[in-house]
Amino acid sequence: MLQVSGTQLVTGGGTPVRLRGVGLGGWLNMENFITGYPADESSMRYAVRGVLGEERAELFFDRLMTSFFTERDAELLAGLGMNCVRIPVNYRHWEADDRPFEIDPRGFRHLDRVIGLLGERGIHSVIDLHALPGAQNQHWHSDNPTHVAAFWQHRHFQDRAVHLWETIADHYRDNPWVAGYNPVNEPGDRTGKVIGPFYDRLVKAIRAADPQHVLFLDGNTYATDFSIFREVYENTVFVMHDYALAGFAHGGPYPGYTRGEWCDRDELERTFAKRSRFQRETGTPLWVGEFGPVYTGDPDVDAQRLRILRDQLAIYDEQDVGWSLWTYKDVGLQGLVHASGPYLDRFGAFIAKKRRLGADRWGSTMEEAADVLAPLHALIETEFPGWEPYPWGARYQSDDLIRHILIAQALLPEYAELFRGLGDDELLALADSFLLERCVRREPLLDLLADNLTR
């Protein structure tokens, strides 16, 4: 079992370990920009079931879970020199909203399989609950169909999360290849008053079920605010996320200005120092749970994005920081590898339409359909100049409500209809488009990571 010892993670024999690897986004917690659908996962699954029916939808999704990560994926990551995979999961694999507190043990099937594949190759797993009952943050990646993080408003949702973590911790309590538990990804408690007491309660519950494994705890406001912690828990890593402004879809150039803010290597280092202040003051390990730029297909722009990543990795190396790059596999925006074949043949035009409309927040430049939306943004700025909604202000909130919820949900029937008329073999071929041997590799990114991890 890995343990926290001062500012480091160490093995049972006391050898320091710096966890460096990748996030397995879009798998047990699906995301729109990763696998090409619109809106949030549960809304997408509902729409697809409406077209395929329960049994055939299950056939497709289960095969997708199997094909998305196999022995070959584990071998690729081990060959790069990675020793950690952060695995995001959705609570709905274990518990249905209409049957709260009833745990379905089948939820462990794929997770056990992948943790085993990784462990056989010397790679640790961090289990990350990315979507909690009621949604712990305001965005699609917590499987939230709205902009309200209801988790913090209802004790019922919190009770269910504690119960689920007791189950997960009991299941993995003796597994040495589980590095630890990341119980709440990117919490967004608007008041900042509920999360601290909830963490106190959750830590005690997990420790009662499993006293050994490391806890990886995100700060509030999407792993950026650590003032909510009322104590420094033992055997705990406090997790920050470190996305560079210039690396977003609307970012750049690099070095240069993004939305009026200068970004270069020095600024990356200053930002990281600010984001990691709590860890330095408390003498706890430095580990970045998510970071990484998105890519555009433009060679010049993507060269700048790789420079951002290279600079961030250099900063982490200089300061002995562990990290988990976001993300491993997708349909072309950010992954180390991306799907091709039947899935892209069938959904490629739809994905292009999403991009044209800016329907996915992670892929949006915030300028799509500007002729339609710019007057609305101007109206809001003029009429409500003091409006600063949590977490990121008026401009982002407006886009979230219009593009990433309204437009994204309007796209759901169109996505689901693309499954209509397909036979079982065709559904399986779509899912198998995510097999590593059928994926396209982002070679410059793989080369950069291999060079960093092996020297």
Q: Do β-strands 440-441 and 329-330 pair in parallel, antiparallel, or remain unpaired? A: unpaired
User: What is the helix (H) or strand (E) element at residue 424, kind and residue range?
Assistant: helix 424-432
For 343-375, what is each residue's pLDDT tens digit? 999 999 999 999 999 999 999 999 999 999 999
pTM of the model as a whole:
0.98
Dihedral, CA atoms, 219, 223, 224, 230, nearest 10 degrees? 0
Phi then psi for residue 301, to 5 deg, are -65, -45
The two structure tokens encoding residue 272: 């990281």
Sign of CA dihedral 4, 5, 6, 9: negative
Question: Which of the following is catalytic: 31, 41, 186, 368?
Answer: 186
DSSP three-state, residue 441? strand
Which amino acid, 16?
P
State the chain's mean pLDDT as an integer.
98
Residue 230's pLDDT is 85
Q: Report the candidate in 155, 90, 129 with the shortest Cα–Cα distance to residue 218.
A: 129
Q: Over its length of 455 residues, how does the chain's per-residue pLDDT go in tens digits?
A: 999 999 999 999 999 999 999 999 999 999 999 999 999 999 999 999 999 999 999 999 999 999 999 999 999 999 999 999 999 999 999 999 999 999 999 999 999 999 999 999 999 999 999 999 999 999 999 999 999 999 999 999 999 999 999 999 999 999 999 999 999 999 999 999 999 999 999 999 999 999 999 999 999 999 999 999 989 999 999 999 999 999 999 998 999 999 999 999 999 999 999 999 999 999 999 999 999 999 999 999 999 999 999 999 999 999 999 999 999 999 999 999 999 999 999 999 999 999 999 999 999 999 999 999 999 999 999 999 999 999 999 999 999 999 999 999 999 999 999 999 999 999 999 999 999 999 999 999 999 999 999 98
- Based on its alpha-carbon atoms, the radius of gyration of the chain, rounded to whole angstroms, reads 21
Peptide bond before 255: cis, by omega within 30 degrees of 0?
yes
Q: Report the candidate in 242, 241, 262 with the shortest Cα–Cα distance to residue 252.
A: 262
Phi then psi for residue 228, to 5 deg, are -80, -15
Residue 289's pLDDT is 98
290 catalytically annotated? yes
Residue 455's pLDDT is 81
Question: Which of the following is catalytic: 31, 41, 290, 368?
Answer: 290
**Cβ-contact 41, 30 below 8 angstroms:** yes
Pairwise CA distance, residues 33 & 36, whole Å: 5
437 catalytically annotated? no
Residue 89's pLDDT is 99
Length of the chain, in residues = 455
Peptide bond before 391: cis, by omega within 30 degrees of 0?
yes
Domains of the chain as residue ranges with CATH = 3-454 (3.20.20.80)
Residue located via tokens 């402004």: 245
